[in-house]
Amino acid sequence: MLTLDCVSKSYASGQGYQKVLDQVSLTLEPGRFTALVGPSGCGKSTLLNLCGLIDRPNEGRVVWQEEDLSAVSDARLTEIRRQRLGFVFQSFNLIPVMSVWDNIAYPLMLTQTAKAEQKRRVNEVIDAVGLSDFIRKRPDELSGGQRQRVAIARALVKQPALIIADEPTASLDEDTALTVIRLMKTLSHQFKTTVVVATHDSRLTPFCERVYQLDHGRLLPRVQRAKEELVS
């Protein structure tokens, strides 16, 4: 699905450069639920940005479904992001003036998906996240857990190959966080979507099939196998 091959990433800092990722290699396998764990500042979000094709590495290669993206245009990266990737954020990133329905449909509007297909897909994911009774409400009328469900539905509605989730449970209480985690795991299987999550939330990792530890920009050589919870 996606391979990062010896990627490094540095940013300008004062008089020099700060290396955030150092020779990181990672393969995301189709259908897997993967976690990137580590403390703040270890490079998780930077690594997610590379996985999400939002940023480019200074060194190394990013390969998407056998396509080497090293020399492709920004327009090509945008095309892949828009058509094949979904994103879930800690702060939800919903559009305040739009209803639940329109927030979820928005990615399909951007790709000019036919109205009938928009309706079919939005109905499918709204039902999957349990928000059928809230379609006309706006984000400020919802709880934090409900807003995160909207964000998950919005990520799924494009039927993406890969979902990128950055600290999706950080702003949620324990009960709501566990509900959201279970929902993401269930839906990743239902929709056959690969998910990669950056988190420091220990509640999330038992639900992941692969857990990778980041430490000072390096991916630890040992891949930990998380205990996989059965999904009904």
What is the tens place of the pLDDT at every residue in 58-67? 999 999 999 9
Separation of alpha carbons 199 and 38, rounded Å: 7
- φ and ψ at residue 131, rounded to 5 degrees: -120, 25
Query: Cα angle at 51 between 178 and 25, to 5 degrees?
Result: 105
Q: Looking at the predicted structure, is the pLDDT value of residue 69 above 90? A: yes
pLDDT over 90, % of the chain: 53
Q: Looking at the predicted structure, is the pLDDT value of residue 229 above 50? A: no
Residue 225 confidence (pLDDT): 52
Query: How many CA atoms lie within 13 Å of 138's alpha carbon, on the beta-carbon side?
Result: 5
Of residues 15 and 50, which shows the higher confidence score? 50
Predicted TM-score of the model (pTM): 0.85
- φ and ψ at residue 118, rounded to 5 degrees: -55, -50
Domains and CATH numbers, the chain: 30-56+81-219 (3.40.50.300)
